[in-house]
Structure 1
């Protein structure tokens, strides 16, 4: 813990990024955290917005505030770093309030703790009489507080930062939920060896990192060349766990399941069915096999009795078309939901066709090849046999899903709050797979750097509990591959 006390004035954007930023910035009350009455008013104006991420975060802040202990305080009760550099002539009419926010630190690796938040209330801002711009008056007022108290301004608004720094105000930014360069997140490693494959002494790996060892040897001309021999492994418990994919997906593989086609799909399948893995996050472009391979892994786990069924839930956010949302569709709940379950049904039908080609009597169980009616019947029979259920994410609240293989699709269109809702619904012996394509964001308030999928991928880089993988090879078609890379 730092021995130097710093004091920060928070802009609204920092709290709307994530209210728990207050916890991290405070450093167990070592630092002083201040907001102005302007920030409080802006948060209050956003809390009734039920459709945006900003509205949710504003409500999260007020949930903390509603449970907080608070009281008006005097200037002398402010943190020393706030008082030390205050311009008393400019601040003499300000009033102050202290909130003790109760953060449950169990969500962040610690215990519950009270974090002090100080509110500076100013009735009349000098900048109001001189400000001529049609926008930005609130930023100017917040900047006035930062200037008068000589506080470091924390804001994620770039235009505000520039305006504040021009006035000589020290600024910083903090984006807790933003993941920079998510496309560079990787879990694959390649090492060369000449005799016995081994991890380099300096290598640090988390569970389920995917490792390939490439053998090299000296030629007669004393030049190193690859022998063509490769060995594959997971990192697990600081050791190498070998993956014999030839055996795993060769003669011992269940012929009724669709085999993984390439190395990354084999790692993906093996990861999802590993006895010690319960959470997998996968990012993959169009046609990379995310849903199909996940379904095969779920089917194997059902057949082996490890889980009792498969649950598929896909985020019902469409390409910014509110009329296409679930509530606007015709039909009952099941019919409405079916519009959004095409990836699941496509994977199921592909599996049915694969199985029917190997079935002794295709008419008995797999009747999906004659016409659309029989195909629909085959799908229903297949889903009942393996206890496959399609679920609306909105209905997960208040439920506990135990001993199931849960596939969550389109996670790039989810907020972290939605993913947290899903994760906290998982019961004993349930395995969770979270998938999506960071390059296909349809949610109007999210971006490729700020969504649940990349947040979980980022956490998987540093966690032994979450297995992560990126599927970078498109197998659907040349057309799909071209559009994925060029748009």
Structure 2
């Protein structure tokens, strides 16, 4: 069956290479989409970058022929810029305003009606990240799909970083005695390096132990961490214990931690970072950063120097530092940080082009990063450094991301096979009973 895919602007602004994702079928880009892409190309953010990259990709295809007639794609399909089929007569009684969205709908609908008239084995599908755009298409009898090619996982099947097993009493006793347990051959393929296993006695579930898969994948071994109090912070549940183990492992160069608000991700990471930098001197400096993505309406330009401008964005970090340093006033914290000199708090805006060796890099709210932005960060990491990515995929503020296609989830899924990385998914909130209830109910 032949299929014509009509692309919405948001698909290209999320992934400029989306035109290569439709196999041997025809890809149609309405002229109004080019206008919208052009309006974004001067943006100095990820959307602007993708708009410019989309323009470059389409421009390269001009050498293959006339884009309005269609040019071949490498995968056997074709690409066409649609200049016709713009008539608004079929939509004028339903959607009165000639918005750009409605103009894209008009192109897709007119192509669909033309195919129906010819009665051949051909379908027209509108591809859009905009939910209401797909709803409007459905109301018009036009098939519409979300663009899912950028998703790291297709359903709520995100790697959690640990498993729960029921084991025999003698196996558990052997683990307590020797500190290791050989992984049965039948289970090796289901485990990843540095993945945790919560082992429970099959006849007495109250008897349990936590082990971690060795990097060779053959054994489960006891956790190495012997520190119980990290700058006044103690683990309150199994996942926090797992996280601290990975936070202090020097061989783990990349650590991801995901979970709902209030599960303790940021506090644990900051506390362990301070101990490793200030007390153990394992790293020269701790760099703490978070993406500048507003929740709700932006507050506009802020007065002052760079540090003053960043303060509102970095306030969640400072809140945790005030708790760890046990200070009551922001001025006292500023004096402590300036005196230490080994803690740097800044926005991710300034990381491109840097090389960061022998530092502990903590990136908070990483769910608001795209795959391209995460790649930019990780390729800055120098020898002897460790990077920690924290976030809640359920709280996305970026307009073109969701809980399955953001940069944090891409890192979790792509690096789970690597012996250099570790991951923990938090479930239980520890901030307060109200915070946990709100995270669950809302």
TM interval, shorter chain, is 0.7 to 0.9
Please, what TM-score do these two structures have when normalized by structure 1?
Answer: 0.71
Q: What secondary structure sits across from 1:432 in the alignment?
A: strand
1:390 aligns with 2:350: no
In 2, the alpha carbon distance for the partners of 1:314 and 1:130 equals 47
Please, what TM-score do these two structures have when normalized by structure 2?
Answer: 0.78
- What's 2:5 paired with? 9
Contact 2:85 2:106 in 1 (8 A): no
Contact 2:232 2:324 in 1 (8 A): yes
What number of residue pairs does the alignment pair up? Answer: 411
Q: What secondary structure sits across from 1:25 in the alignment?
A: coil
Q: What do the CA deviations read for 1:105-140 (whole angstroms, capped 9, x no partner)?
A: xxxxxxxxx667734355543855554343534323
- What's 1:453 paired with? 408
Q: What secondary structure sits across from 1:297 in the alignment?
A: helix
Pair 343,140 (structure 1): closer, same or farther in 2 beyond 3 Å: closer
In 2, the alpha carbon distance for the partners of 1:379 and 1:444 equals 34
Range with greater deviation from structure 2 (430-439 or 387-396): 430-439
Segments of 5+ residues of structure 2 without an aligned counterpart are 172-180
- What's 2:125 paired with? 153
1:20 aligns with 2:20: no
Pair 260,11 (structure 1): closer, same or farther in 2 beyond 3 Å: same
Contact 1:460 1:468 in 2 (8 A): no
Contact 1:232 1:244 in 2 (8 A): yes
Range with greater deviation from structure 2 (265-274 or 125-134): 125-134
The 5 A counterparts of 1:15-414 are 15-26=12-23, 31-38=24-31, 41=34, 43-48=36-41, 50=43, 56-67=49-60, 70-72=63-65, 95-98=68-71, 118-120=78-80, 123-125=83-85, 128-132=88-92, 133=94, 134=96, 136-145=102-111, 148=115, 150=122, 153=125, 155-156=127-128, 157-159=133-135, 162=138, 166=141, 173-178=146-151, 181-182=155-156, 185-194=159-168, 195-196=170-171, 199-200=183-184, 201-202=186-187, 203-216=189-202, 224-226=203-205, 228-234=207-213, 236-244=215-223, 248-250=226-228, 258-302=233-277, 303-323=279-299, 328-353=301-326, 368=327, 374-381=332-339, 383-384=340-341, 387-414=342-369
| Rg comparison, structure with higher value | 1
- What's 1:86 paired with? none
Q: What do the CA deviations read for 1:343-392 (whole angstroms, capped 9, x no partner)?
A: 33333333334xxxxxxxxxxxxxx58x76555433432x32xx111122
Pair 484,46 (structure 1): closer, same or farther in 2 beyond 3 Å: same
Q: What secondary structure sits across from 1:340 in the alignment?
A: helix
Contact 2:7 2:30 in 1 (8 A): no
Contact 2:86 2:106 in 1 (8 A): no
Contact 1:35 1:117 in 2 (8 A): no
In 1, the alpha carbon distance for the partners of 2:428 and 2:295 equals 24
- What's 1:358 paired with? none
In 1, the alpha carbon distance for the partners of 2:77 and 2:217 equals 42
In 1, the alpha carbon distance for the partners of 2:111 and 2:350 equals 45
Deviation at 1:233, TM superposition (A): 1.8
In 2, the alpha carbon distance for the partners of 1:40 and 1:443 equals 21
